[in-house]
Each structure stands twice: as structure tokens, then as C-alpha cells.
Structure 1
Amino acid sequence: MAHNMRFNFDKSAFGRHESFGLRYGWLTKGFNAFQEDPSVFENEDATVILGVGKNMVKSIKNWLFSANLISREVNGICATDIGKLLFGKKGYDHYLENEGTIWLLHWLLATNAESSTVFYWFFNLFHRTEFKNDDILKSLEQFVESDLKANYSHNTLKQDIQILLRMYSHTRESGNNEHLKELDCPLSSLQLIAYYKDAKSYQSKIEKRDHIPLGIFGYALLDVFSAMNFKEIPLEKLIYNQDGYATIGSIFRLSENGFIYHVEKLMAAMPNVFEYSESSGLRQLYLLDEKISKYDLLKWHFDQ
């Protein structure tokens, strides 16, 4: 079962990472061990099997849930379809060697409101493009208190923010000379958040981002069409967060021009799948091929 891309204010999760951000190799290692033995994370030998400490075992399990590679079903915890396609025995990219896999993992994290709430909140609901640590923490605390009506400690929320920023940000030194830190997390390579060391501030800019792989952009589009169960969606709903659904433009930090650029490229590469129309001030995207699935787009991406 896919995760629900619409925010459920009654279901949220914070502080389950054991203070460890996602690291290279963890998803592959954790998913393979889970497929061998679904009870591996409760196993007394889990630290030996996974080669990490006890808290890291819990963290790996958390990241598998957060990235929607495993999920809780009626009959227990199961591997998801996307988990099997990426990291199964015949998976597309066991070792995260394809940039598209990193973009896809970002999409999976930022759309999974129930299991990775802080990622969903930041990429869908926090709209400031420049901020400091205190700004983002205060905003998250206000959201939790007023919208979720939940009670999470200041330290828990602070740690979640620190983990998110550490996982995504790369450092820019003064003089605008870019210096990429050696980070364990693959998501920093997407450059969705920049840290300006001298100003001690962050930027998450809205840009054209024409390097986002087309197949992954198409996967995200079909994910939204499926979640909304529509055959036509106004462009604004795909670019800006509305109705509580995860939003492509917000998650990929895409400008309107960038979004339309990707749509047009996708229409040229896959005729008769999508159609874009603009008339009387109404901009709509249509799904013409009802048989195509997001997994077809994934196969198309990895087969290229």
C-alpha cells in the first residue's frame, strides 16, 4: 500500500531517527536484511547482522519507513513495491549510483507525511526561502501546536530540524565560492538547501532545476494524479501546496517556468501521455493514458 500523500493532522511522527541522519548504504543494507528476515530489527543479533550499533539499528528501520521502502500493513510490516523495485534482488539501483534514485528518495521522504512529518512540513508547508535555525524551529513549533495540536518537546523538534538541515545542506563559504562538505547523506548532492557559513543562514531557492531527471519528474506527476484520483489537475495545484496534498513544485523547489519546462519535455518524450492546455486564464494538465503507471516511468528512466 502506498503512503497517503494528503496530510492527516491526526498522524505524525517526530524524533524516531535516534539522532542519526540517513547515510549511504543504510537503505540497501537495511532493506536486504529485512527481506531475508522481516523481524531482523527486533533480532538480538541485529547489531551483528547490520554491522552497526543498537541505536543505529532503530535509525535504519526508521529511514526505511520514512522513505516508504517498508510499510505497516494488516498482516504486519511489508516491503513496498517501490522498495522492491529499487533495492530488491533485481533492483534498479542498490548502491545509489544513479542521480535519479536520490531525487526519488527525496520525493518519497517529502511526501510521507505520516512517517517523516518534518520532511513533509518543510518541503510542502514552510515557504521561506531564506532562514536561520531559530526561524525554522519557531515555525515548526507553531505548526505542531496550532495545526497538529500535538505535544512534542522543544528538543525533539529541534533535533528533527538539525537532522533535516544536516542531511540536505551543502556549505557555501564567503565570496560565493562553493565548497561541498564530505557528508554521509546522499540528499546533500541535490543542493536543495545551501548553508552560508559566515551568515549562519540557509537558503532553499525556487529555481528552474532543468537537471531533474525526466523519468523521476514523471513518476512524481503520476503519483499525484493517482493520489488525487483525477484525470486533469490545475497547474497551480501541482506547483503550490493546496488541499493538503504533497506538491511537486514545492518538493522539487521548482519555479513555474521550471515546472512547465519539465512538462513540455515529458510531453515531447512521451506523446499521448500528458497534455497541457492554457485557455481563458485556466492552466490544466491532463492525463491522457489511464493505463500508464508511475512504475512505467521508473522503468523508462532506468532503461535509458
Structure 2
Amino acid sequence: MKAKFTGHDTFPLRYGWLFKAVNHLNSGGKLQTSKEEETQQAIIKLGVGKNMVNAIRYWAESAELLSSKRSQSNIDYFTSENGDYLFNTDTGKDPYLEQIGSVWLVHFWLNFNFQHLSAYRYFFNYSHVQHFEKSKLLSDCSSDAKKLVTNDIGNESTLKKDIDCFLNTYSKKFKSDAVKKKLTIDEEHFTSPLTELNLVTDNGGGFYVSDLAERPELPIEVFIYGLIKFAQVETKDSNINSVDFDSLLTKPCSPGRIFRLSESGLGQKLDEAQEYSKGGVSWIDSLGLRQVKINDEYLSNPLAVLNKFYGATS
């Protein structure tokens, strides 16, 4: 892996940014260019400042909504299958993130990454803490990242900014009762959609909570999609369409890790997946052997289960 603790210019993900990135590109716009005129066009069309254009590109690329290729002095960006699947104005399943399942899907896309390590990917894939101070997370991330990446992680100030950005992206700011009474406009209306998932809670004073839980609010289709994507990686070098329970619970980029599932929560999701898929996903928990099997139809087409989710709720 390579460290990637910069690129967002300290701006957390915001509502509408991913939609803007995909459809700006689809309409012929540019998100990174050495030409001042094209940069100004992006600023005008996206309705943000130059630094925010960079942040929009960062978050869209991190969620794998964009693909890119280098041409001369520029990097040319194009929308990916993920980007068009969810955010395309004409064909996207939920371009405005009106369904909570779509937010869970964006969360999964952001963190299902074996190539680049950021503060949020470190937390969801490698950290073991559930109750933590920001300073402790900084220390842990700095120490562990040096073992996980092949390049320089940068200075502590850079890492601290990335952790701040992660926490601002996933947790609503703590407000005392006195402050809440003074607010006339709900500032959280403008915060990141990922705060809706309640995966990280700001308790004030630099303390945060992120419990492992059962996640009944996580749609089973999104869980199965994450399960299949992980299983594709785990089984790619074998002819076995199964993965063990502990891997699903604890390995980096597993659904247990990314969705912050407890052991009982993962078991419940697998029970639900088995019933939902009518055996397309099945698992056994007997005599200490816990294995999950996914049939070829499911394993070869993870988007099919998402299509069922959007077909049933749109």
C-alpha cells in the first residue's frame, strides 16, 4: 500500500459533491487541468472555490467514481462504472443520495481499497479501538502506517489534518445544550452524508465512540454486495467459492470491518443474507467451523443484488 493522507485540502465530503463530479465530467468538464480557462469553468460550473474543486475530485476518486489516464502534462478523468451506476443524471440509481443504502454504498466504496491508505481507511480496516481520543488515534495511525505502506507517510501535521478530515466527514460536531439553543440554522444540514451512518460519535473534548454493532439499518443488499466484493478478492486464486467467518469479521476490507459489525451482528447479517438469497449465500456454524459459501451466480455479478435493492425501493 501507499500512504495518501492528502488531497482533500482538509475539506470533508459534502452533500452533492459526488453528483457534481460525475456529471461535470459527463458534460465535458475537467476536474484537473493546467489550463486556467478550464479551471475557471470548473469553478463556475461546480459553484465552489479552486481548493474545493480539488476536494471534490479527491472524494470522487477515493470512492472510485472516477478513472483516469495521464496525457502529456494533465491527468484526464472519466466517470467509472461506480460513478455512472449511482450518480449519472439520466441513469443513476440514486444521484442525490436520497436512500440511506446509497450512503452505505459510498462508505463501502471509500474504504474497500487495497492500494492507498488514508486516515479513514486505517480506522475502518486496521484500527481496533471503539472508544478513543483523537490524540490516541493519531499516535496509532502514525505507528501502524509506517508498517503498512511502502512510501513516506509525511509529517505529523499532515496526518493530523487527515484525521481531522476523517472525523469531520463521519461524525457530527459535538454541541453543548447551551450552544444548541443558540443555533437558529441547523449547520448539520450542510455536513457530510456519511454522518447519517452514525459510525463515529463525537462525545466532545477530543473523545469519540465507534462501537461494533448489529447494524439493522444496513440494507441486506448492500451487505451482500460488500460480502461478494470481498469474497472475489479472497477466492481469486482458488476454485473454492467460500470464505471463513473470521476473515469476514476481521480482515482489512471485509464487510465486518468496513460496516463495523460485531460478531453477533455479522452472524445475523449472514442469516438474513442466506434467507434473502434463497441459498445463493449460505453458511454453516458447526463444531467450530464457520464457513460462508457464495454460488457462482452471485459471485460473478455483485451489481445484480444492488439492482434488486434499487428496483424494490425506487
Out of 276, 294, 301, the position equivalent to 1:293 is: 301
How far did residue 12 of structure 1 move?
A: 2.8
**How large is the RMSD of aligned CA atoms in angstroms?**
2.3
Deviations along 1:98-153, whole A, 9 cap, x unmatched?
10010011111111243562222110101111111110011111123333252411
User: CA-to-partner distance for each residue in 1:195-218, whole Å, 9 max, x for gaps?
Assistant: 112x53101101111111111001
Any residues of structure 2 matched to 1:50-199 within 5 Å, and which?
A: 50-72=46-68, 77-88=77-88, 89-115=90-116, 117-148=118-149, 150-171=152-173, 182=188, 183-197=190-204, 199=205
Q: 1:134 to 1:67 in 2, by over 3 A?
A: same
SS at match of 1:39: coil
Give TM-score scaled by structure 1 length: 0.88
User: How far apart, in 1, do the equivalents of 2:69 and 2:292 lie?
Assistant: 33
Q: CA deviation at 1:282?
A: 1.1
Counterparts of 1:55 and 1:236 in 2: how far apart (Å)? 42
Structure 1 position 19 matched with structure 2 position 10: yes
> Aligned residue for 1:265?
272
What are the residue-to-residue correspondences of 1:232-247 with 2, within 5 Å?
Answer: 232-241=242-251, 245-247=252-254
The one-letter code of the counterpart of 2:53 is V
Amino acid at match of 1:272: G
Distance 1:158 1:282 in 2: 42
1:255-297 CA-to-partner distances (Å, cap 9, x unmatched) read 1111111111121121131111123311000012335511001
Contact 2:3 2:145 in 1 (8 A): no
The letter for the 1-side match of 2:275 is: A
CA contact (8 A) 1:100 1:212 kept: yes
Contact 2:118–2:162 at 8 Å: present in 1 too? no
What is the deviation of 1:300?
0.8
CA gap of 1:147–1:266, structure 2 versus 1, over 3 A, is: closer
**Distance in 2 separating the partners of 1:181 and 1:255:** 32
- Supply the distance in 2 between the matched residues of 1:287 and 1:300 (Cα, whole angstroms): 17
In our comparison, the structure showing a higher alpha carbon Rg is: 2
Mapping 1:277-292, distance limit 5 Å: 277-290=284-297, 292=300
Percent identity, aligned pairs only, is 29
Report the 3-state secondary structure (helix = DSSP H, G, I; strand = E; otherwise coil) of the residue aligned with 2:32.
Answer: helix
**Structure 2 unaligned residues grouped into runs of 5+:** none
> Residue 249 and residue 181 in structure 1: after superposition, are their counterparts in 2 closer, same or farther (change >3 A)?
farther
What's the CA shift for 1:40? 4.1
- Preserved contact between residue 67 and residue 112 of structure 1 (Cα < 8 Å): no
**Does the 8 Å contact 2:24/2:46 carry over to 1?**
yes
Q: Is the 8 A contact 1:169 1:188 kept in 2?
A: yes
The residue type equivalent to 1:215 in the other structure is E
When residues 87 and 274 of structure 1 are mapped into structure 2, their CA distance, relative to the original with a 3 A threshold, is same
Q: Does 1:48 align with 2:44?
A: yes
Give the conservation status (yes or no) of the 8 Å contact 1:38–1:77. Answer: no
SS at match of 1:134: helix
One-letter identity of the residue aligned with 1:279: S
Q: 1:213 to 1:258 in 2, by over 3 A?
A: same
Partner of 1:39: 30
Alpha-carbon spacing, 1:276–1:39, altered in 2? closer, same or farther (3 Å): same
Give, as a single letter, the amino acid of the residue that structure 2 aligns with 1:77. Y
Do residues 200 (structure 1) and 210 (structure 2) align? no
- Aligned residue in 2 for 1:4: none
